[in-house]
A and B are shown apart, each in its own frame.
Chain A
């Protein structure tokens, strides 16, 4: 029992990342009808927003103290980050909380990136075949990740979670198991709640605002909305930017779990696409539930007990599920009837 709970928890945080990326992907597909292969690159850009923010607030001033010398006989240099020098304890706290704080940087950056991408490139591909959309966004993904690589290098750059949530937590005790059986890193719990609240925010935005209502109407029947005199394209631009922000936030908060490197986006992209397809193209609840479902399935498949029965299952489970779903239920788990069923 405790092992099962642990595996479910393990799957949830990965599932959270899948769900966030897939949410943006399916939002873009449902509204714009564009298959965006650069979405993984947006996730990666978000992660590197965290890295950049960390570099930025970690800038140090070097004070040379000529009266003291080091062991090598050179004058002693003390390095203090500017932010600590200026703000004192607040600065120290900001350094500690650099990952959550970099959300403040990521939101405007990703909004801008999303806006520019949609205006500059994607909008010219609305009417083109899906194959060309895939190809051009694939090219864009390569370009984005190579730019990141040339600035930040090819090696993963680990980011630390804030001290308060850096340790592990014995969740088993809370649930009535023996102590030490369900030990879980605290940051992953934070990530899970973070992803749930972002998903909730996106759904609330689409459900309870006029803007969201128009977007949903546009997803259902774009032409009629256009006939009613609403400039749907402009709203869709914002939807794209929003999807970019969601992917970026998913990336920012994932950095303490997985040190970001330039090709992390591609790794996540393939899986997120599978998630979207399993959930049903253009279905938001489908993407979210399929994200968590596949995350949990993957962590169950990597249990040793399962691996001894079916060796290698942990490597292929997600793809296997996708193949089966696509063949027995053409529109995915929660896809709308008649949308992309062929």
Chain B
């Protein structure tokens, strides 16, 4: 992890990442994930986790209220649809403005404390936003029903031309559903990845890592760390806001449940699973969780019987009934177990796992395998950062 990264290797990594994201519809098709709805989710939640990682991965501040920004981004985007029309670009702008405003306010207050108090403060703010969105702010958020775009809304730019059909966000005539929607999200994910990569390599990112490793020492050297942490908080808030607005772009609807603290917990989980503090980890974690959520929750008793039909009858029954606890409705049980296992045995997430495997290969002493081991470790080091 401590290897020096040259600009060249960074560029290579960025190019590879871009290629991988853009070709996702092709290489994810064999495992049954090559359809646009799921791919959109990969990109959106990848962006969300990427943003969360800038705060948690670099500074070590564990925010339990990041879903608030996701919700704010969604609401801002839907309001932009309602007022200005179905173009996603003003919606993005709106959500950036609003999520950064909220992030500055919440971050300014919360960052006065650290450790568990910071977690509680962010959680308190997120719960406040959630409760208010459900109750008093109903004129703005439309409460339980959720905010949606109506035919009668002003929609300044395209309100006049509107035909009767369903209202779908469109970028200058390209409808933001299906693959165009995915590529729009993917483009933003790639931009987000580039920004995040630049932050990781910058002196600013170094400063944030220093805050994580020892904040007291930073203060004793006479440095005020708060502007740095606040900047990180706001950047990650904006990432989350953009992710929220993308949720609204692909499906013009915003509900308060997006802000609930379980949603904040989910992004923590994605980041930890992939590997907090690594560049690719959070995106990987988000993709894995969304993928398994989709696959596992679709299973039921019949599909399980089909899968385990190779077993003898007396074994098939028990195996199926045990396995059915973990799929379908019980998918959250799998998630919780997976989460515990990761935190207990692999606190650095999947990326740390890759690293360890890489090290195993690197230590192999014999001459002929050395070259193979070398390229392998280089690849895994790539993957790690």
Contact = CB atoms under 8 A, between A and B. Distances in A.
B132 A316 contact: yes
Nearest to A319: B124
Interface stretch (B42-50, B78-86, B190-198, B335-343): B335-343
B336 A139 contact: yes
B336 A326 contact: no
A134 interface: yes
Contacts of B116: 35, 130, 134, 281, 340
B62 interface: yes
Interface string B120-164: 110111011001101111000000000000000000000000000
Contact of A326 (B117, B337, B339): B117
Contacts of B115: 130, 340, 342
Interface stretch (B2-10, B202-210, B244-252, B260-268): B260-268
B119 interface: yes
Contacts, number: 109
B333 A143 contact: yes
A135 B131 CA distance: 24
A329 B344 CA distance: 34
Interface residues of B, number: 41
B232 to A, nearest CB: 16
Interface in A217-271: 266, 270
Contact of A139 (B120, B124, B128, B340): B340
B21 interface: no
Given A135-B272, A142-B339, A312 B333 contact: no
B330 interface: yes
A45 to B, nearest CB: 15
A20 to B, nearest CB: 20
A315 B339 contact: no
A317 to B, nearest CB: 10
B62 A273 contact: no
A319 B340 contact: no
Question: In which size bucket is the chain A interface?
Answer: 35 or more
Contacts of B344: 121, 124, 136
A311 interface: yes
Main SS class of interface, A: helix
Given A312-B132, A322-B120, A143 B127 contact: no
A147 B109 contact: no
A327 interface: yes
Nearest to B276: A131
B217 interface: no
A286 to B, nearest CB: 15
Contact of B120 (A131, A140, A277): A277
Q: Which of A35, A121, A319 has the most CB of B within 10 A?
A: A319
Nearest to A314: B135
What 4 pairs across the A-B complex have the smallest Cβ distances? A312-B136, A142-B336, A315-B131, A139-B339
6 contacts: A136-B343, A142-B335, A143-B337, A149-B330, A315-B131, A323-B125
Given A139-B337, A142-B332, A270-B127, 5 more contacts: A130-B116, A134-B62, A140-B340, A142-B333, A342-B117
